[in-house]
Amino acid sequence: MRDIVLIGSKEEANVKSLVVSEIELLEFPLNLVNIDALIFTSRYAISSLVNNANKLNDNTWQKIPSFVIGKSSADYLIKMGGTIEYIGEDSHGDGFANEIIPLLKNREPLYIRAKKIVSHINEKLIQHKIKLHEVVGYENKVKKIDSKLAPEPNSILIFTAPSHYKAFLSNFKWDGSYIAVAIGMTTFGVFDAGVNAFVSPKQSIQACVEFAKELNTRLP
């Protein structure tokens, strides 16, 4: 059987994990004047907003309707006290943008995002005359990993963000026998040509793990 390894920024209890990056939540000025929608494409963005709001003892953001790219992040937002208006059906950032553009006409949304982003959701919204506000809420930083920790050949590697794939390549050479599982289309889209890759049918870490286990029974 192939090893299944989650490549990410934190360890998970139910799967072998390799931490290749660290998430730094950033401080930013929280100005919600005229903001009538919030956009999230990551749980880290939600955590960053919560941290900044708590420092100011200001939870007015919780009443602002939120547009969230996936159910996992939406569940986390609800846990933090937020209000959901829309959960994206497309796990790809550009597809999510297409879904919410009609819903954001004549509104002023705030997009809390990573320092570096792969999708062009912000550009698409601006192109469609959405009065978008943006703040950088977090940053992915690559960790230096001992080369001896490279996954064994034939492993199934789960990537839950484009940055995790790039951080992995910063540390290890890609073995042609690896199988990659992406949590969604945005992550899938950064894989290099020649990578044997699949997209998880559902966008959560647990769903990725279950899908990898299923692949493990089918692949030679």
Q: What is the pLDDT of residues 82-94, one digit of tens each?
A: 999 999 987 777 8
For 144-165, the pLDDT digits (tens) are 999 999 999 999 999 998 999 9
Res. 11 pLDDT band, cuts 50 70 90: very high
Q: Which CATH architecture has domain 24-140?
A: 3-Layer(aba) Sandwich (3.40)
Residue 70: pLDDT over 90: no
pLDDT confidence of residue 203: 84
Give the span between the Cα atoms of 205 and 149, in whole angstroms. 21
**CATH fold match for the domains 4-20+143-218 and 24-140:** yes
Neighbours of 92 (CB within 10 A): 20
pLDDT confidence of residue 220: 82
> Which CA distances in Å does 85 have to 88, 163, 168, 212?
10, 28, 35, 32
Return the amino acid letter for 125. L
Q: Are strands 156-159 and 109-114 parallel, antiparallel or unpaired?
A: unpaired
Res. 190 pLDDT band, cuts 50 70 90: very high
Residue 114: pLDDT over 90: yes
CATH topology of domain 4-20+143-218: Rossmann fold (3.40.50)
User: In the chain, at which residue ranges do the beta strands (DSSP E only) sit?
Assistant: 4-8, 16-19, 21-25, 37-40, 65-68, 83-87, 109-114, 133-142, 156-159, 179-182, 196-199
Question: What global pTM score does this model have?
Answer: 0.82
Res. 213 pLDDT band, cuts 50 70 90: very high
Mean pLDDT over each residue of the chain, to the nearest integer? 95
Decide: residue 17, CB within 10 A, 0-12 exposed, 13-18 middle, 19+ buried: middle
Neighbours of 166 (CB within 10 A): 17
Domain ranges for the chain = 4-20+143-218, 24-140
pLDDT confidence of residue 185: 86
For 90-112, the pLDDT digits (tens) are 777 788 999 999 999 999 999 99
